[in-house]
Structure 1
Amino acid sequence: MEKMEKKKKRKAAVMGEHKVYGTPDSDQPPSSTCCSGCGSVLHCTAPEVAGYLPSEKFKVLLDRDRLGSSVCQRCFLLVHHQRALAVEMSKEEYRDVVRGIRSRQALVLLIVDLLDLPDSVVPDLGDLVGGNKRVVVLGNKVDLLPRDADNYLQRIKRQLSRYCGDAGVGGGAGDSAAADVHLISAKTGYGIENLISSLQRSWRYKGDVYLVGAANAGKSTLFNTLLDSDYCKSKGTDAIHKATISPWPGTTLNLLKFPIINPTPYRLFRRKERLEKDSRQTEGDMSPEELRRLQTFSKQGYLVGRIGRTFRVDPTPKRDEVQFDADSLAYGEYGAEEETAAESAPVKDVEFSHNELKDAHWLFDTPGIMKENDVLSLLTDSEVKMVVPRQAIVPRTFVLKPGMVLFLGALGRIDYLQGEKSCWFSVVASNQLPVHITALDKADAIYQKHAGNVLLGVPSGGEERMKSFPPLVSQDITLKGLGYLQATADIKMSSAGWVAVTAMEGQEVVLRAYTPGGSGLSLRSPPLLPHIVTLKGERVRKSSAYKPKKSPGLLLDSHPSAGQGAKSIPAKKKKKKKTTTQKKA
């Protein structure tokens, strides 16, 4: 009996069904306080509505006037258990929140996911935020892309600018360049100091600033990074809770904000001094915490930047985040009114005074714009975590002859139908997403047998899972090769990544590509990383695969006067083992 119960729990976890702890109370009116993690109004009415807290916890916090420092149950599960709790909120409701910008004087920071170009460029941005807004385009997640050739960052920036111009961002349709474009990594800090300097020089303190972009583009990560930087008032780090971030699209449900620091001439001068000092620092000058941060991020991304604080307040205990123990809210374990020592202990909150905020301008994090035909909407929690890249992407290259097939999990399939010679297929996707090569006459049987199982990996859950999963829908593609060192196009599979196709110059290649229900399948030309095939390692004997090869991480100087010089990330020193002679001595 116990085994059966455990099996049911495992199955529920695979299918994305999560237990909601505690009990709702439909008679209790909603509060006027928002969740500090996602921005939803806190209530205890219904678990499927955004902002839900169990009534046992909600009422206690309401009586103690501590709702302001709490997070909803959904945010708690996302952060501490990496589980997404489904909420009832339509795509149009997300867009309605963003439309509130239209009547305001504001600067719009458009966050674009470089791993999902051009689909992550919001096509109707002018309709959402108003046509009179100045827009700065931020190409995020550049740290995950490998360096395929010299000056690859300038090439990506030009391509991003062109896509934004075609979408009418920063100019009319077909415009060759958006108003202002930056490449950044909200996670590793690359490009953030330059972005802050640019905003303080150009926008200064004219009005509020809004982070806008497609779901899962990294807005909340950037919000948290800027909260700990010179862009936020110095007390903000202690006074404002960080946004909830997760790989699931649609995590932020309403507006989150922090006050922007006024860039006075004195503050700009002090900041410039700090940046110049930081750019001259060597490994020996860095603090142990800074070294650990750089070493950690160098394992997760190719580009790493340094972010510092010029102005700091006196160290004070951070405001306690009011959380709940999910297990303690299960039936019968504890009484609803039982207090813990942590809850009853006084909390020293850091708060802004009225004078500090009366003339303040704010940076707002907005809900993500949900994309159409996105493959992530078809996946469960565990599957999303396998598909969305969280580490530096190591390209995997395979050489295929006509009559061979490449599977990207069970989310994508490319059949090489016709061509004179072999072609190279370079997969740019999460390193956890399996790639399988087979013959054309065996491909259908392999999909029927292994879709939902270990070989193809995603989706997972066996035959039961595949019953509700859309069948693969095909699209025929004809390409002409540009040479064995340059890809001719990317076959893009929505948020799951893409496959760059490289063929001999002048060779015509006929392919057939598949995705579930045809979702997110498109052809990108020119390719984002045209020389990706050059990053392959040696050929694996008796195989169509090449050994994957990862480039070393680089620390790029943040200060403009430093010339964006690249330095190798200092390697972690390993302790030498003592020899037998040393031990005896």
Structure 2
Amino acid sequence: MTNYEHFDDSKLNTVEDLEDDDIDGLEWCKNYGTPDPKVGISRVPCGGCGALLHCSDPAIPGYLPSEIIKGRTDEDLKNIECQRCHFLKEYNIALDVTVQPEEYENLLQNIRNVKSLVLLMVDLLDFPCSIWPGIVDIIGTQRPLIVVANKVDLLPGDSVGYLKRVKECLMKELNKTTLSNANIKHISLISAKTGYGVEELISAMFKLWMYKGDVFLVGCTNVGKSSLFNALLQSDYCKVHAVDIVKRATVSRWPGTTLNLLKFPINRPSGWKIQQRYQRLKAEAKALKLENEIRRGQVKGKIFNEAPSLIGHIGRTFAMPLTDDSIDQKQPIDILDDKHELFVNSKWFYDTPGVIHPDQVLSLLSTEELLMTIPKSIVRPQTYYLHPGYTLFIAGLARMDFVDCSEPCRFTIFCSEHLPITVVKTEDADELYEKFLGTELFAVPTGGTERIKNWPGLKMGKDILEFTGQGPKLCCGDIVLSSIGWISVTGKYKSVCKVAGWTPGARGIYKREPSLLPYSINLKGKRIRDTPAYKVGKVYSDENS
């Protein structure tokens, strides 16, 4: 791997050597290297994002400085990642690239022409805003589809059986879209980050699809596709010979890190392989059960300060190249070549670009703002007791007005711990927002005067949302606020609660019934004296739910 900081710039003039008229043309100062449009585009994809490597223009995906790309063979380039992926991985800096939204869907048109299984990935912290109903227009209603709901490890459990209720809630939201007509074969709740549920997903793919054709992983930006791709790459689902030679996908909180098709060859699930895999999973399950019993004994009588995450182990049944391939490897394979005799007849697993959903606000945020907005740990619910005529702000990103109700209601907020909550009278909300936007009180958006000047501001959704109370122990529904979070409503039995949601450009404001976590109201702590807020209460843990 060539470090971009160390490319040979000895033949370039320094700033001191240039006349004033030449400084504007010193592109390598701004773009970490010099572009050269005269050099043609290579046929080698970046191992991190899949875009073809080139040195034509830094704004086009797959860019490499000409100082790195010139004089290198295709074999050399296969070991180098593009500049954008390098900066994302090493420094968590996202360099701007220009990709038109229609290019994503044009790339996915290939799915129409091949026999394939589709994995549709959804973010459990952001649905229905992360459900891409447009996939049905591309794949049709007959092609088999598996819905993969990611980030289950970040959901706080509310009571026994909460995972079952989460799946039911997701299914109801899917049925409200064109996906109700899709050929959904299975729904998996997973965490691509911790590995929870991934082995079960692999077993489901082997059982439902076997080796009938290619598999495409699709979904909106930032749902975790690249993380799942990397997890499956190191699992039984990837052909053993390719595990160590396929480069991992770039993983970042910046949306849209995968810009082309990444792939690895799928392991053929013959009978004896499935049997060996079953024996491994059975042995691991027995060991895990014993481990959990010991763990429960250790924590008995203790109070959790933080909810334990859902964690799963992703193992490999076959760690060495199989001996039944009848192919004599004269030389070790260092680079994935789909024309190699080991892979030429393989079926492939593809990671596709993230589709930008118009309901998501992530594309409006800077890297620093994304890091504050996207939760990194289990979301801890915060509950407030409000009378009609009051407003809740979630940082400077979202707002909820309590318009009307015959009784006060409780509102439980689910969002990143870095987003501050502000409660104010509705009549003062506009003035307060204008005064404190860009300050620590609202946290996001952050930046100087120019950043605030370009911020689109909050806009109210077109509909007033109505919820019918189910009593003090049950959340009757959720107000979904795009990619920012959601607010659960708890009201007196049969009372009608009217609220209005605000987000940038009124994006992604939804009423979700039933509530995703209906019993979360019972997790609140004691009321903080002389405030509308409750303390963040106990956490719930039930590994068998």
Alignment TM class, shorter chain as reference = 0.7 to 0.9
Pairing 1:36-185 to 2, within 5 Å after superposition:
36-60=47-71, 62-63=72-73, 65-169=75-179, 171=181, 178-185=184-191
CA distance in 2, matches of 1:542, 1:237: 59
CA distance in 1, matches of 2:127, 2:359: 14
Letter aligned with residue 381 of structure 2 = P
| Structure 1 match to 2:325 | none
CA distance in 1, matches of 2:180, 2:430: 46
CA distance in 2, matches of 1:379, 1:232: 35
Equivalent residue of 2:244, what SS? helix
1:208 aligns with 2:208: no
1:278 aligns with 2:266: no
| Structure 2 match to 1:492 | 480
1:349 aligns with 2:359: no
CA distance in 1, matches of 2:506, 2:178: 27
Instruction: Give the conservation status (yes or no) of the 8 Å contact 2:155–2:378.
Output: yes
Q: Structure 2 length as normaliser, TM-score?
A: 0.85
The CA deviation at 1:480 is: 2.4
The CA deviation at 1:141 is: 1.1
Instruction: Give the conservation status (yes or no) of the 8 Å contact 1:109–1:135.
Output: yes
CA distance in 2, matches of 1:362, 1:148: 39
Q: Which moved more, 1:202-211 or 1:374-383?
A: 374-383
Instruction: Give the conservation status (yes or no) of the 8 Å contact 1:165–1:178.
Output: no
Instruction: Give the conservation status (yes or no) of the 8 Å contact 1:536–1:547.
Output: yes
Instruction: Give the conservation status (yes or no) of the 8 Å contact 1:299–1:553.
Output: no
The CA deviation at 1:160 is: 1.8
1:400 aligns with 2:400: no
| Structure 2 match to 1:365 | 351
CA distance in 1, matches of 2:487, 2:502: 12
1:25 aligns with 2:40: no
CA distance in 1, matches of 2:540, 2:404: 37
CA distance in 2, matches of 1:514, 1:122: 22
The CA deviation at 1:214 is: 1.2
Instruction: Give the conservation status (yes or no) of the 8 Å contact 1:401–1:416.
Output: yes
Describe the superposition over 1:250-289 as per-residue Cα deviations: whole angstroms up to 9, x where unpaired: 1111100001111111111111111111112159989xxx
Letter aligned with residue 183 of structure 1 = L
Equivalent residue of 1:355, what SS? coil
C-alpha change, 1:307 and 1:97, in structure 2 (3 Å) is: same
CA distance in 1, matches of 2:30, 2:520: 44
CA distance in 1, matches of 2:521, 2:125: 17
Letter aligned with residue 65 of structure 1 = E
| Structure 2 match to 1:335 | none
Letter aligned with residue 68 of structure 1 = K
CA distance in 2, matches of 1:423, 1:225: 43
Instruction: Give the conservation status (yes or no) of the 8 Å contact 2:525–2:538.
Output: no
Letter aligned with residue 456 of structure 2 = P
Describe the superposition over 1:43-92 as per-residue Cα deviations: whole angstroms up to 9, x where unpaired: 001000000001111115x2483101111011111111112111111110
1:305 aligns with 2:312: yes
C-alpha change, 1:393 and 1:300, in structure 2 (3 Å) is: same
Equivalent residue of 1:180, what SS? strand
1:523 aligns with 2:511: yes
CA distance in 2, matches of 1:111, 1:225: 14
Describe the superposition over 1:494-538 as per-residue Cα deviations: whole angstroms up to 9, x where unpaired: 111111111111222232322222122222222211222111122
Letter aligned with residue 86 of structure 2 = F
Pairing 1:445-464 to 2, within 5 Å after superposition:
445-464=431-450
| Structure 1 match to 2:363 | 377
CA distance in 1, matches of 2:58, 2:207: 45
Instruction: Give the conservation status (yes or no) of the 8 Å contact 1:212–1:365.
Output: yes
Equivalent residue of 2:55, what SS? coil
CA distance in 2, matches of 1:394, 1:235: 43
Describe the superposition over 1:388-438 as per-residue Cα deviations: whole angstroms up to 9, x where unpaired: 122211111111122322110111111223333321111111111111112
1:389 aligns with 2:354: no
C-alpha change, 1:536 and 1:270, in structure 2 (3 Å) is: same
| Structure 2 match to 1:539 | 527
Letter aligned with residue 40 of structure 1 = A
C-alpha change, 1:282 and 1:260, in structure 2 (3 Å) is: closer
Equivalent residue of 1:356, what SS? coil
Instruction: Give the conservation status (yes or no) of the 8 Å contact 1:164–1:170.
Output: yes
Letter aligned with residue 128 of structure 2 = P
Instruction: Give the conservation status (yes or no) of the 8 Å contact 1:235–1:312.
Output: no
Pairing 1:258-269 to 2, within 5 Å after superposition:
258-269=264-275
C-alpha change, 1:119 and 1:281, in structure 2 (3 Å) is: same
C-alpha change, 1:64 and 1:206, in structure 2 (3 Å) is: closer
Instruction: Give the conservation status (yes or no) of the 8 Å contact 1:453–1:462.
Output: no
Letter aligned with residue 394 of structure 2 = L
CA distance in 1, matches of 2:373, 2:307: 16
C-alpha change, 1:36 and 1:106, in structure 2 (3 Å) is: same
Letter aligned with residue 216 of structure 2 = Y
Letter aligned with residue 455 of structure 2 = F
Letter aligned with residue 467 of structure 1 = K
Equivalent residue of 2:466, what SS? strand
Describe the superposition over 1:147-189 as per-residue Cα deviations: whole angstroms up to 9, x where unpaired: 11221111121222233233333636xxxx9431111111111
Instruction: Give the conservation status (yes or no) of the 8 Å contact 2:482–2:508.
Output: yes
Taking only aligned residues, the RMSD between alpha carbons, in angstroms, comes to 2.4
CA distance in 2, matches of 1:200, 1:508: 48
CA distance in 1, matches of 2:218, 2:335: 28
Instruction: Give the conservation status (yes or no) of the 8 Å contact 1:103–1:130.
Output: no
Instruction: Give the conservation status (yes or no) of the 8 Å contact 2:130–2:360.
Output: no
Instruction: Give the conservation status (yes or no) of the 8 Å contact 2:156–2:307.
Output: no
C-alpha change, 1:201 and 1:255, in structure 2 (3 Å) is: same
Letter aligned with residue 503 of structure 1 = G
The CA deviation at 1:462 is: 4.5
Match of 1:217 among 223, 238, 252: 223
CA distance in 2, matches of 1:433, 1:44: 40
Instruction: Give the conservation status (yes or no) of the 8 Å contact 1:170–1:179.
Output: no
Equivalent residue of 2:418, what SS? coil
Q: Structure 1 length as normaliser, TM-score?
A: 0.79
C-alpha change, 1:204 and 1:283, in structure 2 (3 Å) is: closer
Instruction: Give the conservation status (yes or no) of the 8 Å contact 2:475–2:519.
Output: yes
- Structure 2: 5+ residue runs without aligned partners? 1-28, 293-304, 322-331
